[in-house]
Structure 1
Amino acid sequence: MTSPSATLHPTLAYHVANTLGWPRLRPLQSASLDPVASGLDALLVAPTAGGKTEAVVFPLLSAMETHGWTGLSVVYLCPLKALLNNLLPRLQAYAGWLGRRVEIWHGDVSGSRRQAILRDPPDLLLTTPESLESMLISRSVDHRRLLGDLRTVVVDEAHAFAKDDRGWHLLSVLERLTHLAGRPLQRIGLSATVGNPQDVLTWLQGSSAGNRPAQVIAPDTATESAPADVELDYVGSLSNAARVIAWFQGEKRLVFCDSRRMVEELGELLRGLGVTTFLSHASLSADERRRAEEAFAEAQDCVIVSTSTLELGIDVGDLDRVIQMNAPWSVASFLQRLGRTGRRAGKKRNCLVLALTHDDLLVCTGLLQLWSTGFVEPIQPPHSPRHVVAQQLLALTLQEGRIGDAMWPDWWAGLAPFEHHSAQPILDHLVQDGFLDEDGSWLQIGPKAEERFGRRHFMDLVAVFTAPPEFTVLHGGKELGRTDPALLTSSVTGPRLLLLAGRTWRVDWIDWRRRRCFVDPVDGTGGEARWSSTGFFGMSFPLTRAMRDVLLGATPPVRLTPRADDGLAKVRAEHADTVHQTGTVIVRTDGDLLWWTWAGYRANATLKATLGPLADPTHRVNDLNIRLRNDLTRSDWHSAVQGLSNDLRYPEVDERALSGLKFSTALPRPMAVETLSMRLADFSAAETALTEPARLMVR
């Protein structure tokens, strides 16, 4: 071992050198030793497979020994149970070298195992924020005894948390843990490359930001800056894509799709071509995913088709090739996927991008153009998490049995969403609407909270994200996964066929009350896969502007197949009148007057609301253009838009969309609608589009 290992505990340094056979630590691992061991808050940034886990665990294990920590001193949080399961044996081996213990706690862990953990807590506990919340509100867990020795919290895949409401839930729970422990807790995040790492670290620190020393540690950038072998192909259909993927015989291929339906359909096509194929997505059962991932890790000439579930740090072994179906929605996601390759000596990172349609080809080319500039999206936590504040007030009341109507802010120590002026109206509503009951100066759980969230010991209160109802699909008593109930109620001729786990099944019978569907396998194909889509606010301003740049002639420095070259030429010809070098374009197409903003979904939603009667109210918001009033003239436009950039409006929200905002029922209706509206807006991009010159191709 080289000199940086000297700061490791001697026993640990011995095993790193002799058991693991490492001649040296990686740059990130060396750079993190002193900051992590000395108690600094930190964000460790490195590409996929960059050694982040060891970079945080080795110095923490050394600190345990050096300072004689006892009890449960480290909680290690991950966004996925599968990632926890993947980490467990590795961390148990590392801790075992020092006589320390690591355990895991999530929804699939047996009750007897949990009781053993409570009787004799480990040194390090792997869990999810939702499982941590369930411990805090459970009457069978003495959380003060379990968590009283806590010193450090590690947040793996911190960027994945920070970008949505799970991040606000995580921060809220960490503040409650700090209050319970009675001491500041060291917070360490592990992250893939993000555009604003210092902001992410400040976010992770929560109420202690500015009061505790903190450091971004990101020395290992050589891998991501090294040239990558990226190729773009236009294939025209999913069946053509399957034939291209099958052509790489003898290689281990990981194929990313951005929908579960595409995973299933592509998996069935590949198996029909005789390719050994495994599948992974969130609606497959945990056992089905685990079997697929283990089999894939051990095989060689095979393919695993996955949604973003395998984008995170789950180890599926060495890969020869990553194949991306269409484009992911961010450069950060593309970097994560690209980083799955190039891990063996002498191998470069590589990715083959397959576009299915001309529209997909434009998005793919735009994303690759944006990637080639070195741009990575900044992480921006969602605006105004008022529904999370409501959930946390109820969760704290369950945790403590009752809370003081004036003392509750102490639990969050000034974390922004819980500041008195922001949170008090939410608390008042919870009391007025019966979610909380008043007893003098104390508040306790009320009847409406019992009715709305009380099933299964308030487990509905634990998960912040909303999942649409699905039916469990079983064959011979074995769970295969889950499917959309619409597939079981739609009109069909002949047997009802489902596509799940890459094969077709015939529905035998349905238990409507228990939401179960029993199936039998059939030969051949013809099954249908379908799931409800989640709330997604479309493409971003940087991505759509990169697409415009491509239409104007920019070409990313990647290899384009002749099919992609020909397809891109056709796309440019089709969109020739929708782009201009000096600004935006308003043009009449098939009778519609369209303003081609190339500004992204959220900006266009903001612009449509701001334009008011100038915009066609029947036009659904999209990423690229806004349909204007059909009789608009040049003079109408110029006079109407003067000064509009100083009077931007929040987008209108369909109240039916509130079903995607979990705990919105615990907010006053206008507040819930306003929260969604604020999240949908993009004032900066809207202002840019409004102030650019607009070429009007109208009468």
Structure 2
Amino acid sequence: MTPPTAALHPTLAYHVTNTLGWPRLRPLQADALDPIREGRDALLIAPTAGGKTEAAVFPLLSAMEEQTWTGLSVLYVCPLKALLNNLLPRLETYANWLGRRVGLWHGDVPGSRRQAILRDPPDILLTTPESLESMLISTTVDHRRLLADLRAVVVDEVHAFAGDDRGWHLLFVLERVSRLAGRSIQRIGLSATVGNPDELLRWLQGSGTGQRPARVVSPGARSDAAEPDIELDYVGSIPNAARVIATLHEGEKRLVFCDSRRTVEELAEALRGHGVTTFVSHSSLAADERRRTEEAFAQSRDCVIVSTSTLELGIDVGDLDRVVQINAPWSVASFLQRLGRTGRRAGTRRNCLMLTMTDDDLLTAAGLLVLWGRGRVEPALPPPEPRHIVAQQLLALTLQEGRIGNALWPDWWNGIGPFRRSTARQVLDHLIAEGFLERDGGGLLIGPEAEQRFGRRHFMDLTAVFTAPPEFTVLQGGTEIGRTDPAVLTSATPGRRLLLLAGRTWQVDWIDWKRRRCFVQPVEGTGGDARWASSASAGLSHPLTRAMRDVVLGADPPVRLTRRATSVLARLREEHADTVHPDATVIAREGGDVHWWTWAGQRTNATLRSTLGPLADPTHRGDDLHIRLRNDLDRETWLQAVDGLCDRLRRPDVDDRALRGLKFTDVLPPDLARETLAARLADLPAAAAVLGEPVRFVISGR
């Protein structure tokens, strides 16, 4: 039987066998060889540490040699700079075997190294979508020369991109890159398990959907893989969570995931109070601080690293013994990513200890684990109606080209959906009317309003599709530790002002308000404040809240439950007994209020509230589980009012303040901005399904 490595370039095959010592390729790597070498678009799916990078890069390197590619041939795009930094040494090793070079380009790369890349481009360039956009709009980069030889783009963690506006931004930038290169560019996505792989691949193909051959490569789970060891516990507080983590699995290497930076800091401080060697990783730590802690953790034993989702996306921190999850992650897909961090060594199995803080957290975690047990993984769905990204792209293209044709601009996006619609023309007309663009004969130039709004720092604010809240840089001497919310520095406090950052307590010595900097010194003890502005929560999904209802109705997640978790779940089932029914939603009176217990999720309930109109209490915004109705509601009024509503669903009303969270909506016509956000706040199919369900009334005296 011919070994799979025979399909690789001989030099590469030699090093895979002799330098890496691999007796064979992994199933994903073997299955990906032919489609990638044939030039097909592909989506490669495997758990964390499943060999996805090699599955994409090995056949591309082989094609590079066999087809004599020259110049910058491959872009490797990641969502995180830290992930790029982590990948660089490994990809340099593989490329060097063939005499090829790899470069790195992102915001932390010195200008001298970028200039070297422009003078003599590498064969593979690692970058982010924002850095790629900055190359296109920069007056110092000859992007046509740089991208003239491009053949393929690898998009790592493509599911993470697809779930928000960075995905649309990346997709639109790739269309422009393809036009600059003058050829169709092969697109290869690397993804963890998703519920809609074929749909995700078609989305990644962009304008090439249906025109370029494509294949999903997903070998599936090993049949001999051991069942993971998962336990669900209820601890009630961060100090209790720290006690459990400090006591269990002593001598092992543990990665703890938290849902916020504040929880990371407070848990890390509590763990250090128990004498546990603890490291910290989250997005508000300085890059050097994160790198030092992640490297120290990778080389240590008997320690803990506490992290937000930043360590979910494949950054190598060495072999792990345990994963601990504080509360539930936001999706089954995320849970699978985190679970896949363990069980990599022979003789070990994947494991996760889930510690929940509140009753709601326990119910959410139990629901998520029920979904996981049923094998359900959420689809990766791009947000609908990216009109604000269309506006950003029109401005960015004008900067890139200096002048765009008033009629030819759609050609740059090769007919991709959002640029085919009539609303794209509406967006352009609005940009012209408001002075963001101005006419010059048959062309368009950057207008004075765009200069004023985005012109600072060479229009770099146009390269990012999210607005980061203003933060203060925290420094000890000349060393940056990280960033903190300004509220920590302005809130009233008795005595010394103390910060909690990088898992340590610092005293604020001096604040430079003009430059947004504060200088600190380490102090002994605890009591520092950790705080950051949080983005608005998308709430729980319809499938997750329905699984939570199943838990209340008696379904147990297929994992070990501690006595504490079992006891609290029993109490929750009793407390919620009047809010659930296996075959219907429930309308119940509680005191003076009438609640419709939909168990349908935030977006579904927001759609239902808007559709119900005067039947819903206008003073109540609703939540994931129920909607408050008029307190004089009776069965007859309800049945008459909802008859036929499935055909008259309304998207949620949009508060103007909510528009501030969507960058570039201020360059849209106001009605289009509201329509964009309303489409993202709605779940019309789920709302129709809920309205079609029977309703059980538990309203005494009615």
TM-score, normalised relative to structure 2? 0.98
Deviation of 1:522 after TM superposition, in Å, equals 1.6
* Alpha carbons 1:77, 1:126 under 8 Å: kept: yes
Instruction: Letter of the 2:574 partner, please give it.
Output: A
| Percent identity of equivalent pairs | 73
Amino acid of the residue matched to residue 278 of structure 2?
T
- What SS is found at the alignment partner of 1:222? coil
The match for 1:92 is 92
2:194 corresponds to 1:194:
yes
2:640 matched residue in structure 1: 639
Quote how far apart the aligned CAs of 1:369 are.
Answer: 0.4
Deviates more, 1:511-520 or 1:250-259: 511-520
Point out the more displaced range, 483-492 or 90-99: 483-492
CA deviation after TM superposition for structure 1 residue 266, in Å? 0.2
Could you say what secondary structure the match of 2:296 adopts?
helix
Write out aligned runs for 1:517-536 (5 A).
517-536=518-537
Measured against aligned partners, the alpha-carbon deviations of 1:381-403 in whole angstroms (never above 9, x if no partner) come to 10100000000000000000010
Shift in Å at residue 283 of structure 1? Answer: 0.8
- Structure 1 residue 520: Cα displacement: 1.8
CA contact (8 A) 1:2 1:24 kept: no
Q: Which residue of 2 aligns with 1:413?
A: 414
Query: CA 1:155–1:41 in 2, change beyond 3 Å: closer, same or farther?
Result: same
Alignment match, 1:204: 204
| 59-68 vs 531-540, which moves further | 531-540
**Secondary structure of 1:546's partner?**
helix
Deviation at 1:621, TM superposition (A): 2.7
What is the SS of the residue equivalent to 2:6? helix
1:694 aligns with 695
Question: Which residue does the alignment assign to 2:288?
Answer: 287
| Alpha-carbon separation, structure 2, partners of 1:93 and 1:43 | 24
The amino acid of 2:82's aligned partner reads: A
2:75 aligned partner = 75
Q: How does 1:225-374 map to 2 (within 5 A)?
A: 226-247=226-247, 248-374=249-375
Shift of residue 507 of structure 1? 1.5
Cα distance in 2, alignment partners of residues 137 and 441 from structure 1: 22
The residue aligned with 2:176 is: 176
Task: Give the letter aligned to residue 455 of structure 1.
Answer: R
Equivalent in the alignment of 2:538: 537
- SS across alignment from 2:496: coil
Aligned to 2:559: 558
**2:468 alignment partner in structure 1:** 467
Q: 1:177 deviation in Å?
A: 0.6
Q: In the alignment, what sits opposite 1:161?
A: 161
Q: Distance in 1 between matches of 2:698 and 2:469?
A: 44
Give the superposition deviation at 1:420.
4.9
Q: Where does 1:366-405 land on structure 2 (aligned, <5 Å)? A: 366-405=367-406
Distance 1:596 1:506 in 2: 48
RMSD in angstroms over aligned alpha carbons?
1.1
Q: Deviation per CA, 1:579-602, whole angstroms, max 9, x where unpaired?
A: 011111111224221111000000
**Deviation, structure 1 residue 320:** 0.4
Q: What residue is the counterpart of 1:4 in the other structure?
A: 4
Partner Cα separation in structure 1 for residue 171 and residue 223 of structure 2: 31
Aligned-pair distance for 1:151? 0.4
Q: Deviations over 1:47-96 (max 9, x none)?
A: 00000000010000000100000000000000000000000000000000
Opposite residue 267 of structure 2, the aligned amino acid is L
Query: 1:496-645 residue pairs with structure 2 within 5 A?
Result: 496-645=497-646
Aligned residue type for 1:551: V
Q: Read off the aligned partner of 2:77 and give its amino acid letter.
A: L
Aligned to 1:119: 119
- C-alpha change, 1:251 and 1:575, in structure 2 (3 Å) is same
Structure 2: segments with no counterpart, 5+ residues: none
Shift of 1:535: 2.9
1:630 Cα deviation from its structure 2 partner: 1.1
CA distance in 2, matches of 1:659, 1:507: 31
Alpha-carbon distance between aligned partners in 2 of 1:256 and 1:368, rounded to the nearest angstrom: 16
Residue-by-residue CA offset, 1:21-71 (whole Å, 9 max, x unaligned): 000000000001111111000000000000000001000000010000000
The change in CA–CA distance for 1:68 and 1:673 in structure 2 (over 3 A counts) is same
- Point out the more displaced range, 203-212 or 464-473: 464-473
Q: Which runs of 5+ in 1 are unaligned?
A: none
State the SS of the aligned residue for 2:544.
Answer: helix
* Letter of the 2:498 counterpart: L
How far apart, in 1, do the equivalents of 2:626 and 2:98 lie?
A: 61
SS of equivalent residue, structure 1 residue 604 = helix
Q: Tell me which amino acid in the other structure corresponds to 2:424.
A: A
Structure 1 contact 47–223 (Cα < 8 Å) conserved = no
CA distance in 2, matches of 1:188, 1:201: 9
CA distance in 1, matches of 2:83, 2:469: 23
**Which amino acid letter does the alignment assign opposite residue 664 of structure 2?**
F
SS at match of 1:341: coil
Classify 1:515/1:543 alpha carbon distance in 2 versus 1 (closer, same or farther; 3 Å).
Answer: same
State how far apart, in whole Å, the 2-side matches of 1:658 and 1:496 are. 34
The separation in 1 between residues aligned to 2:489 and 2:619, in whole angstroms, is: 32
**Alignment coverage as a number of residue pairs:** 699
Q: What CA distance in whole angstroms lies between the structure 1 residues aligned with 2:27 and 2:323?
A: 26
Report the alpha carbon displacement of residue 671 of structure 1 after superposing the two structures with TM.
1.1
Distance in 2, matches of 1:622 and 1:509, equals 42
Counterpart AA for 1:252: K
The letter for the 1-side match of 2:221 is T
AA at the equivalent of 1:9: H
List 4+ stretches of structure 1 deviating above 4 A: 223-226
CA contact (8 A) 1:6 1:13 kept: yes
